[in-house]
């Protein structure tokens, strides 16, 4: 009986870590925080995923990348509450970031052509924030999103999957 109570307590702690984490968090990190066994943590996460699915919750636990998880609102509910979320990134800069993410790898010149000269400052700030990586290529730069971008917005680390996820979320294409 004590083992069952211990597992329930561990599941609650794992759920609490996922709830308070604003970015995807790895199983190794959860294990370090809680002092638990990685395999047991993974098992508890999978049980939580099943529990949320069974109760048809508006919240889901999604695997992002390799063994990283994020608790989030299901996409079908996010539109209803978008006004409650204050973006940390101004809309014009977010549009520039979206274009980089969808077209990557993309040259800075292409982004400036599409978004105008204000995109220079957007790109500079996005690099400072760690969402975009720039690599010099001749007289321009080649831009790509970073792991931090994927973690922050809950996208896959794989660029092709990331592009598809963006298109699916925007309901375009």
pLDDT of 44 reads: 94
DSSP letters spanning 27-56: HHHHHHHHT--HHHHHHHHHHHHHHHHHTT
Percentage helix, strand, coil for the chain under 3-state DSSP, each rounded to 5: 60, 15, 25
- Mean pLDDT, 10 residues at a time, over the chain (173 residues)? 66 94 87 90 94 92 84 81 70 91 94 93 92 92 91 82 82 53
pLDDT of 173 reads: 42
Q: What would the CATH number be for the domain defined by 2-81?
A: 1.10.10.10
Q: In this structure, which topology does domain 91-170 adopt according to CATH?
A: Arc Repressor Mutant, subunit A (1.10.10)
Q: Do domains 2-81 and 91-170 have the same CATH topology?
A: yes
The residue assigned the tokens 């636990």 is: 61
pLDDT of 1 reads: 45
Domain range summary for the chain, segments of one domain joined by +: 2-81, 91-170
d(Cα 27, Cα 99) in Å, to the nearest integer? Answer: 31
pTM of the model: 0.57
């Amino acid at each position: 009986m004590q083992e069952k109570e211990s597992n329930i307590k561990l599941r609650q702690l794992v759920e609490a870590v996922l709830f308070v984490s604003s970015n995807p968090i790895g199983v190794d990190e959860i294990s370090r925080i809680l002092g638990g066994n990685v395999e047991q943590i993974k098992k508890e996460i999978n049980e939580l995923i099943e529990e949320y699915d069974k109760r048809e919750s508006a919240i889901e636990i999604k695997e992002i990348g390799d063994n990283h998880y994020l608790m989030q609102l299901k996409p079908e509910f996010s539109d209803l509450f978008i006004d409650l979320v204050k973006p940390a990134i101004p809309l014009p800069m977010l549009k520039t970031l979206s274009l980089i993410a969808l077209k990557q790898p993309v040259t800075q010149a292409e982004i400036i052509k599409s978004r105008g000269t204000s995109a220079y400052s957007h790109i500079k700030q996005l690099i400072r924030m760690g969402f975009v990586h720039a690599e010099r290529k001749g007289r321009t730069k080649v831009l790509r999103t970073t792991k931090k971008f994927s973690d922050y917005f809950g996208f896959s680390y794989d660029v092709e999957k990331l592009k598809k996820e963006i298109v699916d979320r925007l309901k375009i294409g």
